[in-house]
Amino acid sequence: MKRVKQNRNGRVETDIYSQYRNMLASRYASSSMSSLFSERNRAEIWRELWIILADEERKLGLPISSEQIKALEASKTDIDFERIRTIESKLKHDVMSHLKAYAEKAPLAEPILHLGATSAFITDNADAIIFRDATELVCSKLLSILEILGSLMLKYKNLEMTGFTHFQPAQPVTLGKRLAMWAQDLVWDYEELRFALGRYRPLGCKGTTGTQASFLTLFKNDSSKVRKLDEAVAQRMGFGHAVSLSGQTLSRKTDVWFLNALSNLGASFSKMSYDMRLLQHLKEVAEPFGEKQVGSSAMPYKQNPMLSERITGLSRFLMTLSQNGNWTHATQWLERSLDDSSNRRLVIPEAFLTADALCEAAHRLLKGLFVNTKGIEERLSIYAPLFETEGEMMVGTLKGGSRQKLHEEIRKASIKGKIKSVKKKSSHLSGIASEQVENFYAEILKPLLKTVKKGTSRFDSASI
C-alpha cells in the first residue's frame, strides 16, 4: 500500500498512520481535553486576546475605531493554517506568523493589531485560559469519579475482607473503607487543583520587561489608564485580576503549581491501580472485562487488569513531569529566556492530557467494578482464627494479664499452627471501619459532591 505521495506543488503528503502520533491524544485522553490544547483552539484564543486588547485600548481613548474591532471579530475564526505555516517558514516566529495572517484577513485593523504588546501577552494569557479550562475539566471528572466511589463505599461499608500489611494477612478491613481511602486521596488532589486555580492570575498587559513602558507611552504617561487596561483585559479573560508583577512572561512558578498538583493526582491513581491489581490477583475484586475483550494473544483464558495497568503506567509518566516545572522556573534568566518555550509546549499539554486519560480509565474501572463476595469470604474464613487473637490479647490484658506475655504465647502458638478455629464469628474484626466510612461520606465527601452538576462530566466512551 502506498502511503506517501506528492501533491501538485511537490509537497509530501502522508496519511495519519504514516507519522508518529501522540498516544495521549489518539488513544488515551478524551477529545474534550485534546481539543483544549489543539492548534485551532489556541489560535482562536490568540485572536480573541488581540480583539480584547484593541477594544479595551479603544475604550481608554486610543485612536482605534469600532469598525476595526468589528473587522477583527468578523474574521476571528477564519484561520488559514497553511498560510500561517508558509509565513512561519520564513519568519521563524509563531506569534508574528499568526499576527500577519490575521492582518491579511482583517486589513482594516492591521495598523492597530498587537499595539503595545509582546509575544508573551498572547502566549501566556492564552495559556492562562487553557490552564483554567483544562483544570476545570479534570476537576469535573474527579467529582464524577468521587460520586461513583461514594456510592460504592456506602454499599460495601460492612463487607469485611482480609487486610494486608506488607502484603501479609493482617486485621480485617472493609471494602468500603478501602474505597473511602482512595476517595480521600482524590478529594485532597481535587482541593489542591482548586487551590492552584484559585490563586492563579494571568499575565495581563505587562510589556517587554514587565514595566508596562510601552503602554505608558501609548497613554501619554497616564499610569492610571495603564493599570485599568491591565485589569480590564484580565476581567475580559474571566479572571478577577492580572498578576501584580512579572518580567516579560508570567512567572513559571505558576507552572509548578499545576504540575505538582497533577503529579500528586497521578500518585493517587497509581495507589488505586496497584491495590486493584493485587486484589484482582486474589480474586476478590476485578475491573470490567468486555464480552469480546482479549486478555492475552497467547493464553485465551487470561483476563488481565488492562485498565489498572494503564493507570499504573500513565501515573508513572505523569509523576515524572513535576520535576520539569521546577527546572523551567529555576533556570529562567532575569526578565525571560526562550528555553522554556519548546519545553512547555510538550510538558504542559501532556500533563493535562495524561491526567485526563487517568480520569477516563478510572471512571471506566469503577463504573464496572466487580466484587467477588464469595472469594472475599473464603479468604477471610481462612485467617479468621488468627485475626481473633488480637482481640483476645486485648481482653486478656484487661483481665490483668501481661500484654507482652500474651503476645509471646500467641506468637509461638501461631508459628506451631496451634491457633484453633473460632466457633463464632466476632463482630469487631474490622473495628469501626463502617462508621469511619459513614463519617467520611457525611462530613467530607457529600458536601463536596453537592457541587456536581448532573450530566456535566465529559467522559469519552470511545477511547480504547
Q: Which three cell numbers stand for residue 392?
A: 483476645
User: Residue 168: helix, strand or coil by DSSP?
Assistant: strand
CA distance 253 to 349: 17
| Tens digits of residue pLDDT in 299-350 | 777 778 889 999 999 999 999 999 999 999 999 999 989 888 989 999 999 9
Lowest mean pLDDT across 101-105, 206-210, 403-407: 403-407
The length of the chain in residues reads 464
Strands 4-6 and 370-371 turn out to be: unpaired
Q: Other C-beta atoms within 10 Å of 238: how many? A: 11
What are the structural domain ranges in the chain? 374-431
Active site residue 296: yes
Residue position matching grid coordinates 463519617: 439
CA distance 102 to 79: 8
Which pLDDT belongs to residue 51? 98
CA distance 287 to 113: 54
CA separation, residue 311 to residues 273, 298, 363 (Å): 6, 23, 11
- Asked whether residue 231 carries a pLDDT value surpassing 90, the answer given is yes
- Asked whether residue 15 carries a pLDDT value surpassing 70, the answer given is yes
Helices (H), 222-338: 223-236, 253-281, 306-320, 322-330
CA distance 394 to 266: 40
Among 18, 65, 151, 296, the active-site one is 296
Which pLDDT belongs to residue 11? 61
Lowest mean pLDDT across 126-140, 150-164, 420-434: 420-434
Active site residue 428: no
Which pLDDT belongs to residue 463? 62
Which pLDDT belongs to residue 194? 96
Q: Give pTM, 2 decimals.
A: 0.90
DSSP code per residue over 202-251? ---S--SSSS-HHHHHHTTT-HHHHHHHHHHHHHHTT-S---S--SSS--
Helix or strand holding residue 371 (H, E) = strand 370-371
Of the candidates 386, 389, 371, 324, the one whose C-alpha atom is nearest the C-alpha of residue 351 is: 324
Q: Are 189 and 142 in contact (CB under 8 A)?
A: yes
User: Residue 8: helix, strand or coil by DSSP?
Assistant: coil
Rounded average pLDDT over 128-140: 97
CA distance 153 to 438: 9
Q: Which three cell numbers stand for residue 59?
A: 475604550
Q: List residues bridging with 13 in a β-sheet.
A: 5
Which pLDDT belongs to residue 394? 76
Which pLDDT belongs to residue 1? 39
Q: What is the dihedral of CA 236, 241, 247, 251, to 10 degrees?
A: -100
At 397, the pLDDT band (50, 70, 90 cuts) reads confident
At 419, the pLDDT band (50, 70, 90 cuts) reads low
User: Residue 162: helix, strand or coil by DSSP?
Assistant: strand
Of the candidates 329, 342, 361, the one whose C-alpha atom is nearest the C-alpha of residue 141 is: 361
Rounded average pLDDT over 418-425: 56
At 453, the pLDDT band (50, 70, 90 cuts) reads low
| Tens digits of residue pLDDT in 43-99 | 999 999 999 999 999 999 999 999 999 999 999 999 999 999 999 999 999 999 999
Among 66, 89, 166, 244, the active-site one is 166
